[in-house]
Amino acid sequence: MANRCVKLLSVAVFCVIAWTLFPADSNARSVPVDGYAAIVNERVITVGEVLAMLQPLRQQLETSYEGDELDKKLQQEYENQLNFLIERALILEEFVTMKGELPERAVDDQINTIISDRFHNDRAAFLQALTEDRMTLDEWREETKNRIIVAVMRRREISDHVVVSPSAVRSTYDATVEKYKVAEQIKLRMIVLNKGKTSDDHAVKHKEAEQIHDKIVAGADFVDLAKSSSEGSKAAQGGDLGWLDPTTLRKDLQAVAAKLEPGKISDVVEGEDEFDILKLEGRKPALVTPFSDVQGQIQSDLRKAEEERLYKAWVERLRKKYYVKVFPPNAGL
């Protein structure tokens, strides 16, 4: 299916499965370019349909892989998209078996919504887009109808049956409380002087660091001195390292920072390559994110997991109920 039409369809209100597309070319040796990919009852899925589903992934894969590894990834994605189309066909077959009916008005409303949202109510522009994508209005209408059917069926068979109890949410929080722990944070400024290469350099820099320290103790502004004297990467920001996890500091600096009270400065700290002066500006103790703050996300995660479980079980039942034949990649060529 042409890209632009896919983009049009992707804004459908009832669409619940994202389309991922990827065209074949002469370099994708493991992916065939024509023939039957699968049959679901009497519904034929062509290789061309699968390849069209893969199109947007091409550029992403080519930036990360090449040669045989790229071919392998292409084949994997080909199989993923073929499975998606098979599942879609199974759901449509089930709709027919159930003698389901979708009012034409629902399709009309969806099409009108897309024309309004994407084409600013310019129907001529919409029809021109279909022409450029070599699709008729009837073909696109049928595709829109199928998408709505799949979404309605998924809601009927899956979403409407998902129940996540408050006790399950709480139990999940208690069982995974470690992931909601927030480490201690400190707000730190630091003046850094590089020690130099020779022992004489070290002595000069140490003396300079002590002089800066004495000025701060006497009332000089730490920020001003950091801007004028520090050789650290944050000198222009007055030595401001922002809020950070103290465990990201050197071990010796961690120990010094742990003893500082907010607003206080350290003595000169000698590291392997530098002299440092720390100023602690704030401290946030370690804590556990309250249940009330993450309750909604946990509920959403549990719901998604249950929907996925029910969906897989449903599709497995449909695969047993209907005839499915998958052709080898080169069949029908």
Domain boundaries, the chain: 3-162+306-326, 184-285
Opening angle at CA 20, ends 17 and 26, nearest 5? 155
Calculate ∠ Cα 9-14-18, nearest 5°: 55
pLDDT at site 23: 33
The predicted structure's pLDDT at residue 58? 77
pLDDT of 30 reads 43
Contact present, 126 and 9 (Cβ < 8 Å): no
The model carries a pTM of 0.68
Q: How many CA atoms lie within 13 A of 69 on its CB side?
A: 6
Pick the CATH number of 3-162+306-326 from 1.10.4030.10, 1.10.760.10, 2.60.420.10, 3.90.199.10: 1.10.4030.10
Given this model, what pLDDT does residue 215 score?
97
pLDDT of residue 63: 87
Q: Tell me the residue type at 125.
A: A
Class of the domain covering 184-285: alpha beta
Residues of the chain with pLDDT below 70 are: 1-34, 330-333
Contacts of 181 (CB under 8 A, 6+ apart): 286, 287, 288, 289
